[in-house]
Amino acid sequence: MNREIAYIVSVFAALLLAACNKDTSVNNATEAATRPNILLIVADDLGYTDIGAYGSEISTPNIDSLAASGVAFSQFYASPMCSPSRAMLLTGIDHHRVGLGNLVSRLADNQRGQPGYEGRLIQSVATLPQILKKAGYRNYFSGKWHLGDSNGADPGSRGFDRHFALHDSGASHFANMMSLSGPEKVLYTDDGKPVDELPDDFYSTRFYTDKLIEYLDADSKDDRPFFAYLAYTAPHFPLQAPLASVEKYKGRYDEGFDALHARRLARAQELNLVPAGIRSFPGIDPDRNWSSLSTPEKKSAARIMEIYAAMIDDVDANIGKVITYLRDHGLADDTLVVFISDNGAEGHRLDQGLGPLDDWSKECCDNSFENMGNEDSYLMLGPDWARASMAPFRMFKGFTSEGGVRVPAIVNFPANFAGTRVFDGIATIMDIAPTILDIVGVDTSKLHMDGKSMLPVLRGQSAAVHPDEVSFGWELLGKSALRQGKWKIVRESRFSDWWDADSLGIKRNEWQLYDLSQDPAELNDLAGNEPQRLQNMIALWEEYAAANGVIMPDTARSY
pLDDT score at 346:
97
Count: domains in the chain: 1
Residue 26 is classified by DSSP as B
Q: What is the CATH number of the domain that holds 241?
A: 3.40.720.10
490 falls within a domain: no
- pLDDT tens sequence across 475-533: 999 999 999 999 999 999 887 777 788 888 888 899 999 999 999 999 999 999 999 99
pLDDT value for 354: 66
Question: Is residue 542 in some structural domain?
Answer: no
pLDDT at residue 26, rounded to an integer: 52
Walking along the chain (559 residues) 10 residues at a time, the average pLDDT comes out as 39 42 45 79 99 99 97 98 98 98 93 96 97 98 93 91 97 97 94 97 99 98 98 98 98 99 98 97 93 98 99 99 98 98 94 75 94 97 98 98 99 84 97 98 95 96 96 97 99 82 86 98 98 99 99 82
The reply to whether 146 belongs to the active site is yes
Active-site residue, from 20, 82, 364, 365: 82
**Tell me, what's the pLDDT at 357?**
84
346 within domain boundaries:
yes
Distance, CA of 464 to chain centre: 22
Residue 524 half-sphere exposure toward CB, CA atoms < 13 A: 12
Kindly report the backbone phi and psi dihedral angles of residue 76, in degrees, each rounded to the nearest multiple of 5, phi listed first: -110, 135
What value, to the nearest 5°, has the Cα angle with vertex 216 and ends 214 and 165?
Answer: 60
Q: Catalytic: which of 95, 96, 146, 261?
A: 146
pLDDT score of 500 = 83
381 within a domain of the structure (yes/no)? yes
Contacts of 141 (CB under 8 A, 6+ apart): 129, 155, 160, 162, 163, 164, 165, 228, 229, 231
pTM: 0.94
Question: How many CB atoms within 10 Å of residue 279?
Answer: 13
Rounded to the nearest 5°, which phi and psi values hold at 229?
-110, 110
Residue 194 in domain: yes
516 falls within a domain: no
- Whether 95 is a known active-site residue: answer no
Res 1: pLDDT: 39
Q: ∠ at Cα 47 (216, 79), nearest 5°?
A: 80
* Residue 422, in any domain of the structure: yes
Tell me how far apart the alpha carbons of residues 343 and 403 are, in angstroms, rounded to a whole number.
9
Q: Please give the pLDDT value at position 415.
A: 80
Tell me 502's DSSP state: G
Q: How far apart are CA 482 and CA 494, in angstroms?
A: 18
Surface-to-core class of residue 296, CB atoms within 10 Å of its CB (0-12 exposed, 13-18 middle, 19+ buried):
exposed
Q: Is residue 190 part of a domain?
A: yes
Range of the domain at 436: 3-22+37-470
Q: Quick one: which of 312, 307, 314, 173 has its CA closest to 250?
A: 307
Q: How far apart are CA 257 and CA 276, in angstroms?
A: 21
